[in-house]
Amino acid sequence: MNTATIPLVRVEGLKMYFPVSASIMRQAKNFIHAVDDVSFDIPAGSSLALVGESGCGKTTTGKLLTHLFSPTAGHIYLRDGETLVDLVTLKRKDLRRFRRRVQMIFQDPYESLNPRLTIFDTVAEPLMVQNVGSLQEREERVAALLEKVGLTPASSFLFRYPHELSGGQRQRVAIARALVIEPSFIVADEPTSMLDVSIRTGVMKLMMELAQDMGISYLYITHDLAVARYTSQEIAVMYMGKVVEHGETESILSNPLHPYTQALISAVPIPDPAIHRTPPTIKGGISQPIDPLPRCRFYDRCPRQSTACEKEHTTVQVDGRKVMCWLYN
């Protein structure tokens, strides 16, 4: 493998099926295909936005990447030197070493911080769990990091509790906590959607600056295409457990290929009354992918469906972009 092209993260054939109404007495007969054969690469120092509406599988994918639970099938590779290590097949004792390298930032700044720990305890916790540094070193590292995320002067924040901070400040603490262990990869699940707009921008910019300074890669999960535009070099669009389109951000936004991506983009309101957008023409809403038929997931709603769409579909490459649509075969 050429060193320059080894990605930091590689997801291959990832599947997560949840049983529907299983119980002790009854075997599960139906499954929700929450994540269904998802594959993508994230290069080092780059951000991939995972975009989609509710139930598309983006949050489940994020949780799988941080190994909060194990996938039904598939591989999650993390670069280790010159090779890729499959986190899914690692034994528990080896996994510990890799947990340091992947961290998560959650959506709700009011729920993700332990209300009984001081800011110092919260940010230092990963260091304690992974047994890094002496107490003195930890204090210095935490203070330096708080300054870095814009909580200055750090000394006034160290011994406060989460309830004393605003939503934006709490999210900055969550970012500091994710960074303290110096990870290579962060999964951020809607980190700014619960913040006010003027605060949101500051937090987004902070995350991008840190990514550049510290060479961290992101999987940025969001339903908001405008946020995806500002934070990520690449976008992967998910629909009912599948990645339907994946490519460079600006290129997808200006020229979406998959009919679902086209509908999604044309539905986003524009904060400029001078611009008139053509609204999407698709009907209906999203349904849950319970035991879906082996054909295009978007079939029922697609304005360009044909008999070709009734077959099991594959991903095609079109000008450096990946699309899962028979129109481009």
Which amino acid, one-letter code, is at 191?
A: P
- DSSP string covering 17-30: EEEES--SSS---E
Residue 134's alpha-carbon distances to 126, 141, 252, in angstroms, are 13, 10, 48
Which amino acid, one-letter code, is at 209?
A: E
- Least Cβ distance, residue 157 to other proteins (angstroms): 14
Comparison of 277 and 311: residue with beta carbon closer to other proteins: 277
- Least Cβ distance, residue 287 to other proteins (angstroms): 9
Comparison of 5 and 54: residue with beta carbon closer to other proteins: 54
CA distance 263 to 280: 5
- Least Cβ distance, residue 2 to other proteins (angstroms): 31
Comparison of 10 and 223: residue with beta carbon closer to other proteins: 223
Comparison of 40 and 298: residue with beta carbon closer to other proteins: 298
What are the structure tokens assigned to 166, written together?
A: 């605003």
Q: What count of residues does the chain have?
A: 329
- Least Cβ distance, residue 268 to other proteins (angstroms): 5
- Least Cβ distance, residue 51 to other proteins (angstroms): 10
Comparison of 265 and 323: residue with beta carbon closer to other proteins: 265
Residue 161 contacts residue 115 (beta carbons within 8 Å): yes
**Beta strands, E only, 95-233:** 102-105, 185-189, 217-222
Comparison of 65 and 195: residue with beta carbon closer to other proteins: 195
- Least Cβ distance, residue 74 to other proteins (angstroms): 26
The residues, any chain, with a CB within 8 Å of residue 104's CB and separated by 6 or more, are: 62, 66, 68, 178, 186, 187, 188, 189
CA distance 277 to 270: 8
- Least Cβ distance, residue 5 to other proteins (angstroms): 27
Q: In what order do the strands lie in the sheet with 9-20?
A: 30-42, 9-20, 73-80, 83-86
- Interacting residues with other proteins (CB under 8 A): 53-54, 166, 168-169, 196-202, 204-205, 223, 225-227, 229-230, 250, 253, 263-265, 267-275, 277, 279-280, 282, 285-286
Comparison of 185 and 220: residue with beta carbon closer to other proteins: 220
